[in-house]
Amino acid sequence: MSFSLPDFRRKWSYRGNMSAGAAMVTAALGLSLVLPEPVDARTYAAPLDIFGLGAPRPHKRIQSTKIPLPKPRPEEAPKATGKATDEAAPEADDKASPDKPAADKPNGNEPAEAARPPEKRLSACRLALTEEIAVAPSIPDIHGPGACGGEDLVRLEAIVLPDKRKVAVKPAAILRCTMASAIADWVRTDMVPLAASLGSTITDLDNFDSFECRGRNRVAGAMLSEHGKANALDVRSLKLANGQSIGLTDRTISRDVRERVLHSVCSRFSTVLGPGSDWYHEDHIHLDLAQRRNDYRICQWNVWDPLPQIAPLLPAERPEEAPPREVAAKSEGGKSEDGKSEGGKPEGAKSESAKDGADDQENPAASADKSAVVSGKSKPATKKRR
């Protein structure tokens, strides 16, 4: 295969050479426009560097700072005392190092409010339940299983009366603030006048049960009790300063006293359960502030009458003026103590034959006994039953 000069000129014309040269010139101009500054000064990738042939993107330079070290302590300097060391320690803590910011100071990127947790605001009940009303310190919220627990809880230790005397709650009750406030108001307003009418003052409140994470009446699987919500209190009695105890379910206590307690609690609490409601509340009174539809209330407490006087089981003693038993036995046969009959005649006035005949007719067995005696055969005497 041979090529001639005309054929070569026809295939590789000057127009083609000029097109290739124009393309090279265009590429050179484009690169000069894209890269107007040196590669080291760029902080971004070239937009036309499709195949990554350009220089890698340099990282920003990290400037290191030198921390000046303290000068060595001279030998002739006095020794540092413990007091100076203790005073210098807080100053060192206050000054944070430039590398590590202080823990209690917020970072520049985070807001100042997120650094400190917001303080919990006191409820209106907590502000009203002061030390002049009750000794009830606040305790942390309780979040147990199955919605058990509550918020705004207090430990009711004592109730302060208007005359500054205290009624101890034994043992201390864990309640919601609203329930503790209702108990304190009940004792201060209603129970103090009741104790005054009995001639004494209240010293103790017998707490039978307060907060306990359980179902109603401690039945497995039952609905959560108000005790599990710290919204109930079981009261058994109130003790007075004179040693007397007012048992709310004690039938030996006056019925009027127990009825006064009944009317006071049923007007204050939404649930009152006592004797007659069920056998779980025969020895105490259940009080709570359960919320129901249309403010429905439950007051189930039967104030029973006092127990009747039971007669003694042993027979009464025989009076001293009563006659002896032997004389009384003889008088039952129609004879007096002097041996005379009821007609006033002596006992031997009748003839023996007439008397024996009459006895034989009235009692045939007696005649048989007499015949046995005559024949010489004796019969053991029988004792009369009484």
pTM tops 0.75, yes or no: no
pLDDT, tens only, 249-265? 999 999 999 999 999 99
In this structure, which amino acid lies at residue 347?
E
What is the token pair recorded at 271? Answer: 């649930």
Alpha-carbon distance of 104 to 115, in angstroms, equals: 8
| pLDDT tens digits, one per residue of 276-322 | 988 889 999 999 999 999 989 999 999 988 877 665 677 778 888 88
Residue 271 CB: number of other CB atoms within 10 A? 21
Cα 291 to Cα 161, 269, 317: the distances in Å are: 28, 10, 62
What pLDDT shows up at residue 301? Answer: 93
Rounded to 5 degrees, φ, ψ at 260 are -65, -40
How far apart are alpha carbons 159 and 165 in whole angstroms?
A: 8
Consecutive 10-residue averages of pLDDT for the chain (386 residues): 59 57 72 55 55 59 72 78 49 48 49 58 92 95 87 96 95 96 96 94 95 86 90 95 92 92 96 91 93 92 81 76 72 50 46 47 48 46 44
Query: What pLDDT shows up at residue 344?
Result: 46
pLDDT at 368: 46
Its sign, for the CA torsion 204, 210, 216, 217, is negative
